[in-house]
């Protein structure tokens, strides 16, 4: 993820350990690398029983690698 966000692993590790805070631009890069929006980044977790099927699908999609997202997108286009 550090590479996708344009960060060194040590910089990302320091942020994870709460030793440093990311700039706004870095936060946006991290969100892009995770495939989420900044609002999703700050959203509190909700239990699966409180999410709709669509939200659950989106949450699973966000966890996929870029390659998996591409494959899933191609499959969805064929299904439509």
If one counts the domains in the chain, the total is 1
pLDDT of residue 50: 56
pLDDT of residue 56: 80
pLDDT of residue 26: 92
pLDDT of residue 48: 52
Alpha carbon separation from 43 to 27, 39, 72 (Å, rounded)? 14, 6, 25
Domain that holds residue 36: 2-79
Q: pTM above 0.75?
A: no
Alpha helices by DSSP H, listed for 17-52, are 24-34, 38-42
pLDDT of residue 34: 87
pLDDT of residue 47: 56
How far apart are alpha carbons 29 and 43 in whole angstroms?
17
pLDDT of residue 16: 87
**What residues of the chain score a pLDDT lower than 50?**
none
């Amino acid at each position: 993820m550090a590479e996708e966000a344009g960060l060194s692993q040590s910089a990302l590790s320091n942020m994870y350990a709460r030793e440093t805070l990311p700039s706004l631009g870095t936060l946006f890069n991290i969100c892009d690398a995770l495939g989420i929006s900044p609002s999703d980044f700050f959203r509190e977790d909700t239990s699966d029983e409180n999410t709709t099927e669509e939200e659950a699908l989106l949450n699973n999609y966000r966890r996929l690698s870029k390659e998996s997202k591409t494959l899933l997108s191609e499959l969805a286009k064929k299904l439509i």
